[in-house]
């Protein structure tokens, strides 16, 4: 009878009738007293059914009676791994090897433990050991490829992903290659592999990933088409609506973008009531509000997040940006100072700090910060322009002009720099140079009220009244809100009449 039930069990497994196989084992439990078959196979079966806590109970009982059974130790290791108990899992797998149960999958499972611990070199060694005995195992190939990718060994990763795909071009292999090309920023090829996936159960995620790739290609209309397919296939979550918001934002349709962003935010609000960990949810909400350019909403989320994780660097960085966008320069400066004093010494932080200092009337301090920034990260047009702007506020026009000239050399197509150098020339009474620079700024695309009014001032001072009047009128047409302009135009017209 014992041998008969074991054969029947094997037949049920061959037919993938796992639940029937489990019931059969329970029926013949009596043989567990003197045979490890029951405990080992019940553990193995429940592992495959992803009922890991139940599997653990049977395997521990079996090991208590049959402690030298390496297979049961290996199954318990697998069981622990899938519950996130990596250290315990590793110990059981190593015990299995010590007891002489040495199979390729165990080396692969140990590799998986190292991979979960982000120890990719050791993980790769284990996967390679396993592949020596089982070179066509697609799971081992994919796991090794993933580790090579994490180690930035992209050629080796691609070789293994392609081999896995050639052996079995299933959805997992397609998703792996799509992810590889996504990381390589080869989005067209990513889409090609995603489109090879045809299983209905993968349709929502596949369509979403295709849409994400199209967003990276700035093809928002194509992205929306696939997002709608993902939604029709049943995907309705924060990621879908956040990406829909991104697509509409690329199309400059902020009405629809905000509708989807707000829907994503409403889902996150519900998640806060379900989840124990809230901080990561607030991070997502903060980023959505940032994309909406709703600084007050973003600030409210930041303050809620701060209650979960005070003085977090990521949080303080966004506090600094948010206060800056709100024009609350003092709070922005305080947040920048916190970040700088706690190790955030990147160029962006120096730039943000300097910008807020300058707008807060602290030009000398801003110049000091910008000078440090230049020494540490080198020069670019923005930094030179900011130095010029701060010296301009201090009415040190020659020094300001020096930096605006440097900025123009770095960014010759930026209309702001000749605008500012033109203003410096005007203040230094170098009128022809001012006219030349303002003309350049307009040729580069600056057509606002300020540039027209500034050109008019210079022309009026150069006694070119008719041209000055024309530029003042262009400034007024731009609704440039300076009350003195109509009076100046009237004065110039009166002077012209007097001359004629």
pLDDT of residue 499: 62
Domain-located, residue 156: no
Contacts of 374 (CB under 8 A, 6+ apart): 383
Contacts of 133 (CB under 8 A, 6+ apart): 103, 104, 107
pLDDT of residue 92: 95
Question: Higher model confidence: residue 11 or residue 155?
Answer: 155
Domain-located, residue 470: yes
Domain-located, residue 452: yes
The domain containing residue 495 runs over which residues? Answer: 447-500
Domain-located, residue 210: no
Among 2-16, 177-191, 443-457, the range scoring the smallest mean pLDDT is 2-16
d(CA 200, CA 131): 32
Among 3-12, 227-236, 462-471, the range scoring the smallest mean pLDDT is 3-12
Backbone angles phi and psi of 396, in degrees to 5: -95, 80
pLDDT of residue 185: 96
Domain-located, residue 477: yes
d(CA 118, CA 217): 31
pLDDT at 171 over 90: yes
For a pLDDT cut of 90, what percent of the chain falls above it?
86
**What is the value of pTM for the model shown?**
0.82
pLDDT at 1 over 60: no
pLDDT at 365 over 90: yes
d(CA 400, CA 369): 16
Cα end-to-end distance, the chain, whole Å: 125
The tally of domains found in the chain comes to: 1
d(CA 173, CA 232): 25
Domain-located, residue 246: no
pLDDT of residue 2: 53
Domain-located, residue 192: no
Domain-located, residue 497: yes
Tens digits of residue pLDDT in 97-142: 999 999 999 999 999 999 999 999 999 999 999 999 999 999 999 9
């Amino acid at each position: 009878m014992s041998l008969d039930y074991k054969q029947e069990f094997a037949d049920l497994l061959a037919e993938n009738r796992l639940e029937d196989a489990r019931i059969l084992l329970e029926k013949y439990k009596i043989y567990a007293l003197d045979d490890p078959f029951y405990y080992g196979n019940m553990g193995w079966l429940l592992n495959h059914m992803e009922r890991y806590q139940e599997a653990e109970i049977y395997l521990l009982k079996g090991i208590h009676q049959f402690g030298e059974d390496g297979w049961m130790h290996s199954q318990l290791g697998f069981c622990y791994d899938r519950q996130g108990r990596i250290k315990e899992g590793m110990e059981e797998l190593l015990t299995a090897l010590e007891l002489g149960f040495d199979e390729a999958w165990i080396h692969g499972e140990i590799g998986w433990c190292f991979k979960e611990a982000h120890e990719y070199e050791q993980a790769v060694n284990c996967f390679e050991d396993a592949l020596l005995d089982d070179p066509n195992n697609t799971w081992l190939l994919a796991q090794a490829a993933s580790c090579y990718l994490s180690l930035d060994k992209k050629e080796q990763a691609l070789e293994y992903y392609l081999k896995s795909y050639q052996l079995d071009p299933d959805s997992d292999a397609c998703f792996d290659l799509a992810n590889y090309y996504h990381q390589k920023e080869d989005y067209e090829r990513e889409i090609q592999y995603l489109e090879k996936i045809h299983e209905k159960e993968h349709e929502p995620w596949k369509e979403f990933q295709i849409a994400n790739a199209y967003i990276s290609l700035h093809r928002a209309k194509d992205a929306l088409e696939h997002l709608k397919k993902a939604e029709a296939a049943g995907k309705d979550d924060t990621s879908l609506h956040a990406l829909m918001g991104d697509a509409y934002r690329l199309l400059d349709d902020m009405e629809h973008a905000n509708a989807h962003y707000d829907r994503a935010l409403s889902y996150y609000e519900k998640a806060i009531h379900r989840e124990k960990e809230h901080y990561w949810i607030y991070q997502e909400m903060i980023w959505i509000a940032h994309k909406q350019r709703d600084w007050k909403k973003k600030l409210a989320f930041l303050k809620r997040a701060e209650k979960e994780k005070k003085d977090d660097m990521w949080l303080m960085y966004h506090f600094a940006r948010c206060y800056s966008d709100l024009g609350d320069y003092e709070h922005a400066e305080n947040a920048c100072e916190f970040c700088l004093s706690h190790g955030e010494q990147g160029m962006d932080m120096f730039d943000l700090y300097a910008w807020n200092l300058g707008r807060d009337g602290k030009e000398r301090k801003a110049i000091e910060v910008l000078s440090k920034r230049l020494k540490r990260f080198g020069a670019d047009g923005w930094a030179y322009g900011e130095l010029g702007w701060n010296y301009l506020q201090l009415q040190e026009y020659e020094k300001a002009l020096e930096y605006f000239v440097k900025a123009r050399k770095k960014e010759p197509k930026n209309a702001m720099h000749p605008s500012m150098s033109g203003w410096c020339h005007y203040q230094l009474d170098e009128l022809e140079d001012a006219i030349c620079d303002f003309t350049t700024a307009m040729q580069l695309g600056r057509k606002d009220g300020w540039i027209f009014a500034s050109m008019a001032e210079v022309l009026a001072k150069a006694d070119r009244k008719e041209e000055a009047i024309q530029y003042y009128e262009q400034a007024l047409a731009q609704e440039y809100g300076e009350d003195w302009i109509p009076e100046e135009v009237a004065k110039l017209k009166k002077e012209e009449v007097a001359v004629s």
